[in-house]
Structure formats: structure tokens, C-alpha cells
Amino acid sequence: MHIKKLKHCCMVIKVPGQGGKHTVIVTDPGSYSIEEHDKIAYADIILITHEHADHFHLESVKALAKRSPGVSVIANDAVGDLLAREGIEHHIMKHGNAIEVKGVHLEAYGELHAVIHSSLPRVSNVGFLIENKLFYPGDAMVDPEKPVDVLALPVAGPWIKIGEAVDYALQVKPRLAFPVHDAVRSAFQHTLPEMVLSQNGIEFIKLEDGGEFEVK
């Protein structure tokens, strides 16, 4: 599996298949990564965790779907409603669902976005476990309660403190983690996880925008 972080929570994940071919997955093409994800020529699968603008930019999804005939768009229920209004074919996943899409095993975990403030209603949010290897929780600190090899760890935002992010990673106990949800951050959002997680046997890759690595 090859993981490239474009920006914030938009990633391009290539899952190896038969005959040397790869299934290309794009996660959360949102408003912070428009310039980057609009350069993606093709995707097999688009995963969208929730409706917030930094995760879901409708015009970009429409454009990527047009460039990718037959793409499978997979989202939560709220995003599904928005896609349906535009006539975009999609599949809705909810907590506990598991499906096979184009040779890739996907599982869904979580139901609600993390609390931003008690005065604000919580939108729905679903995290995706890809190939029983990479877990991307979206904007929530949900524990799939099963082994996770690689964790895409949210580290910054109005709903999370860096200490909470570190504790979340310690709870999930992946083999390695890398930062997402970090378009607006301080340097501490990367240095603290690296320090604490490494002391607890979890490798932390300080993946910057445009960075990529291979998971074996």
C-alpha cells in the first residue's frame, strides 16, 4: 500500500492488486486541498467521511468523478444526501458496515463528529478501515477495537487538542501513525506525537504536504 498525503485530510492511497495493477483511493477532497486534488487524473474510489467543507468540496468531487468513469464514491449518510441531489452515484456506509469494492476491503467505524462545542449540533462522521491496515477516522476519535497497522492521526483543529490526539493514538495502538487534519497547526502538533508515541513503541512519521511512504 502506498500512501501520499496531498494536504490536510486528502490522501491518495494505492492498493496493490493482481497483475501489478493498483486501486487508487482518494480521501476527503475538501476546500483546503483543491489545488492539489484537482490535479488527480483518475480515481477508482473516493471516500468521504463527512460534510464539512475541509473534507468535502462538491465541485471537486463532481470534476474528479467526471475524470474517472465508473468511480465508486463512498460516504456517510449526510454526504450521501448531498450527492443524491446532484445525481452522483454513491454508496453509503454506516458504523459496522463492511464491503468489498474493486478488490479493496473497506470497513466503517463511528457515527458522529467529535464535539466542537456544546452549542453546536454534531454532524455524522464515519471512519474508514482500508484493507484491515490503514484506519482514517475522519473528525472523530473512534476506536475500531481491532488491530490497526497504520493510523492517519488527526492532530489539529477546533475539536481536538494535541494531548487528546496523542492519547487517542495510544488507545488505538497502531504500529505507526502519521498526521492528518493539520492544515492549520503549530510545530508542536508534530513534535509531541513523535516524542510520546515513540516512547510507547509507535512509529510516528512526520508526513508533510506532498509526502508519501510505502506500507508493507
Residue 187 pLDDT level (bands cut at 50, 70, 90): low
Domain that holds residue 40: 2-214
Residues 39-91: pLDDT tens digits?
999 999 999 999 999 999 999 999 999 999 999 999 999 999 999 999 999 99
Reported as a pLDDT band with limits 50, 70 and 90, residue 18 is confident
Q: Are the CB atoms for 124 and 112 separated by under 8 Å?
A: yes
Q: How many domains does the chain have?
A: 1
At 189-213, the pLDDT tens digits run: 688 999 999 999 999 999 999 999 9
C-alpha atoms less than 13 angstroms from C-alpha of 66 in its C-beta half-sphere: 9
Residue 184: band (very low, low, confident or very high) from pLDDT cuts 50, 70, 90: confident
pLDDT of residue 188: 62
pLDDT at 2 over 80: yes
Task: Return the CATH number at 27.
Answer: 3.60.15.10
pLDDT at 19 over 80: no
88 Rama sector, left if φ>0, alpha if ψ -120 to 50, beta otherwise: beta
